[in-house]
Chain A
């Protein structure tokens, strides 16, 4: 069956915004693709192994004219909306495939353009990069640190066997090179952003968590594997394998006698349970403010949509002919800024909706109905949220939490 994805069809942005009582929220996070290829060939990679193969048509390295146009566009957006902060994330493929030079030049161009548009004391530009760590050396980290670029690393766990699916094109494990790079990075705590780890429910959660801590990450992001109702996640047969996995790590983290790292997902859920707004797309109903600029200058939606259907992130816009404001009116982006109104009826009636928020948008996809569904991880999210609510309730003695 051909995709009929809500909100790509039958979605009038103005009408829906009016009904929801919301307006567009300016972008504050710009994911800039620096290199469209990778030196690894991870067997589960959603960019290269997923339904969207658009990477084949893109320039390998971002050309100078894209850099300049993207920098101008970001600066104009920041000035027009009087933003105090924007976040730039350098992504690939593997962004270090051409060395640190192109990254530093991209960032310099953005900072210069933003300063020209908003003044030296105007909008601050915070920069980070996501890498597989295999190309990190002292010289590379130093050059990135000098440019004010923080570095995040993707791993599947802290042991070789956790990373068996992270291999190069010849099938050789990336683990030895990645650990060398991580140990270099750990010597630069001011530049080390943390580790991003996608969950494999077949692993021992405590072993994964404790082994990752050996690399002293200031923060740890535990992500659900990208999956949806038409491409189900791997299952262990347990009722809520991902929720149980995360709950086990939560207890290990929460009960520690000292703070060893920050875990974004847990912090956000605790905040949401206390009635605060979220700051991550994984939970809560806050408007998503991220946009992607690919190496050909295309303005796209976030990469995780590539796991749904070919072309899902496309907006038809680019940095040469369009302003980022125009992307705010794209149905796919507007839908992610609607809060509760973007959720299915089932979600809207759920007692946990303000905390869960329907989960990651890409995880709600179903070929016939698009994104108007609960998350494929609904059971897991409910398990985790109720677990955290119960632990939090015991810790702070707030009876209201028990009602969640």
Chain B
């Protein structure tokens, strides 16, 4: 999805976080006034 190099470590981390969303047709929005716990990423295997 995002082809970024090591020169942008934050963007590379964001891309990794977002990678598993690719192909999702729908997603839900969560209430902001609650702690944000990044979702567990599904296994790649």
Contact = CB atoms under 8 A, between A and B. Distances in A.
Interface of A: 25, 28-29, 31, 87, 89, 91, 126, 128-130, 150-152, 193-194, 196, 218-219, 221, 223, 253-259, 262, 264, 266-267, 270-271, 274, 276-282, 284, 286-290, 302-304, 360, 392, 395-396
Interface of chain B, main secondary structure: loop
12 contacts: A29-B30, A87-B34, A128-B35, A196-B35, A253-B10, A276-B18, A277-B24, A278-B27, A281-B30, A392-B11, A396-B3, A396-B11
B28 to A, nearest CB: 4
A91 B34 contact: yes
B34 A194 contact: no
Given A193-B35, A276-B22, A284 B29 contact: yes
B37 A126 contact: yes
A24 B6 CA distance: 42
Chain A interface SS verdict (over half): mixed
Given A267-B17, A276-B18, A31 B2 contact: no
Contact of A276 (B21, B38, B39): B21
Contacts of A150: 35, 37
B32 A254 contact: no
Contacts of A129: 35
B14 A279 contact: no
Among B22, B26, B27, B33, max chain A CB count under 10 A is at: B33
Given A303-B33, A395-B8, A279 B13 contact: no
A257 B39 CA distance: 24
A133 to B, nearest CB: 12
A290 B31 contact: yes
Contacts of A152: 34-36
Nearest to B3: A396
B8 A279 contact: no
A287 B26 CA distance: 9
A130 B30 CA distance: 14
Contact of A219 (B11, B18, B31, B38): B38
B30 A279 contact: yes
Contact of B33 (A277, A284, A304): A304
